[in-house]
Amino acid sequence: MRRTNSRKRNKINIKNIDKKTLKTIYILSALIVVFLFTFLYFLKNVIIKYKFEKNYTAAAQLNEDTVFTLDKIVLFSSATVNTNELKNSVWNINISQFSDICVYLNNIQNTNNSKNIIKELYIDNISFSETEFGTPIFYKKNLNDFGKCTYSEDSKISDRFNFNIISKDSEINYSNNEIYNNLSTPLTIGFYNKDIKSNFLVSASELEYNGKILKRATIARTSINCNVSFDIHIINELNEEYICNVNFDIPFNNSDSSIYEDGYITKELNNLTNYKFLRLK
């Protein structure tokens, strides 16, 4: 009888020892997993930090010298109308707002070496803030037509537009969107907010082909405010690529006048020190 109890006691002790061992193994395993996750997380952050510092250092080295700058942007804003029909001396019209944009760049070192001479220039990543009325569009613009609305469906720019680069000794053709390879000519782009008001009725004697029609049609400025944004890419003869993001609000007034009261305005943006051309490669 005593021998039987002793056997039972031994079995119970062995069983208890196994449970404790398993519990210890579980705890150690959990600690190892936590340690591994912590270590991998720490290692990942170290690698990310290293890559960031490496890329930042490389970018800083690429941009030690300023090669290209954005000097100024000149804007002309007004409005235009498309007539639908005339009935009893009353016009049915569609109203659109337009702005012409001239972007003046500079190869700041002002030399004719391969670093300062461009072989390719284009804009992309074009975006417009949402407007209550109309459909904002960029279109190709002839510099000789600056200040005149020349929008057509065929001239629309989608997301990328290449300017044609020519030698500074060549005769320039602005209708072909040409610019000199030393950046002595501006980039010209047209902005058109199409059909901000359709089928508006106005007497023939009160029809205005400029910004005053916005006031007559009671189109609030807040309903057509628009911010435009795009990237300018420059590739020089060394195949070095530079990029600068440009964004600004379409202007409706300057210090002296307003398109609502005066029909049109011109405005110059020249405090552009925050705009930098960064070299990508």
The H or E element that residue 3 is part of is helix 2-62
pLDDT of residue 273: 87
User: For the segment 215-230, what is each residue's pLDDT rounded down to a tens digit?
Assistant: 999 999 999 999 999 9
User: For the segment 242-275, what is each residue's pLDDT rounded down to a tens digit?
Assistant: 999 999 999 999 999 999 999 999 999 998 989 9
Residue 21 above 70 pLDDT?
A: yes
CA gap 200, 219 in Å, rounded: 11
Q: Which amino acid is at 78?
A: S
Q: Helix or strand or coil: residue 32?
A: helix
* 162 closest CA partner among 234, 229, 107: 234
Q: What is the pTM of this model?
A: 0.77
pLDDT of residue 59: 46
Average pLDDT for 99-111: 85
